[in-house]
Amino acid sequence: MPDKPQQSAREVTYQEPPMSKPDAADKVFVADAVADLQREVAHLRTAVDVLQRQNAELVSIRQAFEVERRRYREMFESAPDGYVLTNLSGNIREANRVAAALLGVRPDFLMGKALLGFMDEEARSELETTLARWRNTEGSPARELPPIVRGSIQLRVYKGAFFPAEYAISPLRDEHDHIIGLRWMLRDLSESTRTAQALRERDYHYRTLFDNAGDAILIHNLTGRYLDVNRMACEILGYTREELLHMTPADVNAPEVSEQFPAFIAKLRQGDPVFFETVVVRRDGTTFPAELNSRMIEYAGGPAVLSIARDITERKRAEDALTRRAAQLALLSDVGRQIAAILGLEQVLDRAAQLVHGNFGYHHVSLFVMDGERKELIMKAIAGDFVSLFPINHRVPLGQGMVGWVAEHGERLLANDAANEPHYINFYPDLITTRSELSVPIRIGDRTMGVLDVQSPEANAFDENDVKVMEALADQIAVAMANAQLYQEAQEARRVTGKLNPAVVSGVKPQP
């Protein structure tokens, strides 16, 4: 073995420094550090235990608070008298169901309203003085004021009549005994308290159902003026309730429908309900189809017409789609029958393009045939608005544009927004205004024979029904093309056979 080369004098060999053994001081330091760490861990565990107990106590307190809050809410809402909470100016912060029924409104309507506005003028003046005394003590203890103030007043139903009532007012105090608000108890003192209360509650429930119905509900008198409308009617028509109460059915229905209302009223007077479809006009001038169910009722002491209107836009779209689908299938059958009877290939394609354009109303229809040797598509038939733009036997290379891509991949391609379709190509952008294009392969088995292409100047012009119908039509065209090719091959074979044996052409049986 060769000798190892000698290290030069200038070369320096690296040697690791020897490991020093820990001395007694290091060991003591480490032991102290470990002991300190263990003490800190013990302290931390103790703190964690304390925190967990505190969290458990907080959860328990929170649950108890929630139980008390629900109990208070249940007592507040189920109280037989009206209860209202206000600020020191008398503006309502909260009201229970009975208080709202007394005043003839919904509880949420009362929020922020001045409670004194529902009282007679004399009582309002006296109570404003009382409220002023409480306001003067706001933010400080007020033990010199009476704990409860009682009295009698005349309460007024919202936009209605007054009725006798009694009240009791007590201050709401915070933890520092400062007055922060007022608690009111209201009780109806009229002779027909129970009856009036039941009527008010019934009206409240009626209004709740009326305003939360899923259909538009409109009530008008026999002259046509609306007497009441629900929330849905306002939403779908775009008017406020106050605006609609100054309008008539003629203002929200198409003129041709409004002309028929006298006949509807006459039928309703006979006691028969009227059920019909109409065209409703919104505030912004747009329209939508509606189903109207009307009948005579008694309202506010006189005869009136109750109409329930339902927006049937989606149902109409579904019906139109079914009707269009049925028409497309019928046209598909007719087109298939007509092209199946043609044996010439070019005649098949030309007839198919004309029938698709004429029967389905597509803006542009073209049929391409595959030229396998040159790897191109040849436009063999065209119908629609672009006939004069394309030369005879217009060619498209495989992979170019939507038609070329479909021919290359054997899959259909739909672009309802052609401008954003990467495969879309407009050969004449100044003349062709296509915004939607559908290209479908014409296939026999795994072999693509051509492409059926339809276009429209409208965005989103083609839906799934169009795709299915064009695919079915492409299959029929493929069969017709195959039949035409077989016929041409048979004719060619017959011609060749006739040249070889003239007797076949002349029909003369050859002599043995």
pLDDT given at position 2: 47
CATH of the domain at 420: 3.30.450.40
Residue 118: what pLDDT? 93
CATH number at residue 116: 3.30.450.20
Same domain (yes/no): 136, 252 = no
Residues 302 and 422 in one domain: no
CB count within 10 Å of CB 243 equals: 15
Flag whether 31 is in a domain.
Answer: no
* Cα 196 to Cα 189: distance, rounded to the nearest angstrom: 11
469: number of Cβ within 10 Å? 22
pTM listed for this prediction? 0.42
Question: Which residue stretches of the chain have pLDDT < 50?
Answer: 1-2, 4, 7-9, 505, 508, 510-512
Residues 438 and 390 in one domain: yes
| pLDDT value, residue 9 | 46
Both 115 and 227 in one domain: the answer is no
d(CA 33, CA 29): 6
CA 360, CA 445: separation in Å to the nearest integer? 27
Residues facing residue 455 across a β-bridge: 364, 437
Residue 94 lies in a domain: yes
Measured CA to CA, the distance from residue 387 to residue 391 in angstroms comes to 9
| Same structural domain, 293 and 377 | no
- DSSP structure class, residue 251: G
Structure tokens, 391: 């030369």
- Give residue 307's domain range: 213-311
User: How far apart, in whole angstroms, are the C-alpha atoms of residue 388 and residue 374?
Assistant: 25
The closest alpha carbon to 442, from 472, 417, 463, belongs to 472
Question: Do the Cβ atoms of 405 and 413 come closer than 8 Å?
Answer: yes
What confidence tens digit (pLDDT) does each residue in 345-375 have? Answer: 778 788 888 888 887 778 899 999 998 788 8
Q: Please give the C-alpha separations between residue 51 and each of 47, 63, 82, in angstroms, as whole numbers.
A: 6, 18, 45
Same domain, 393 and 351: yes
What's the gap between Cα 412 and its chain centre?
Answer: 30
**Domain assignment of residue 447, yes or no:** yes
Q: How many domains are there within the chain?
A: 3
Number of C-alpha atoms within 13 angstroms, CB side, residue 493?
6
User: Looking at the domain assignment, is residue 19 inside a domain?
Assistant: no
Domain limit, last residue, from 262, 292, 311: 311
Q: Are the beta carbons of 77 and 96 closer than 8 angstroms? A: yes
Contacts of residues 288-292 at CB distance under 8 Å and 24 or more positions apart, as own/partner, are 288/236, 288/313, 289/313, 289/316, 290/216
Instruction: From 192, 221, 245, give the residue that closes a domain.
Output: 192
Burial (CB count <10 Å: 0-12, 13-18, 19+), residue 208 = exposed
Q: Is residue 426 part of a domain?
A: yes
Residue 63 within a domain? no
Side-chain half-sphere exposure of 349, counting CA atoms within 13 A: 23
Q: In degrees rounded to 5, what are phi and psi of residue 138? A: -60, 130
pLDDT tens track for 153-168: 999 988 888 888 999 9
Give the 3-state secondary structure of residue 230: coil
Q: Do 152 and 236 fall within a single domain?
A: no
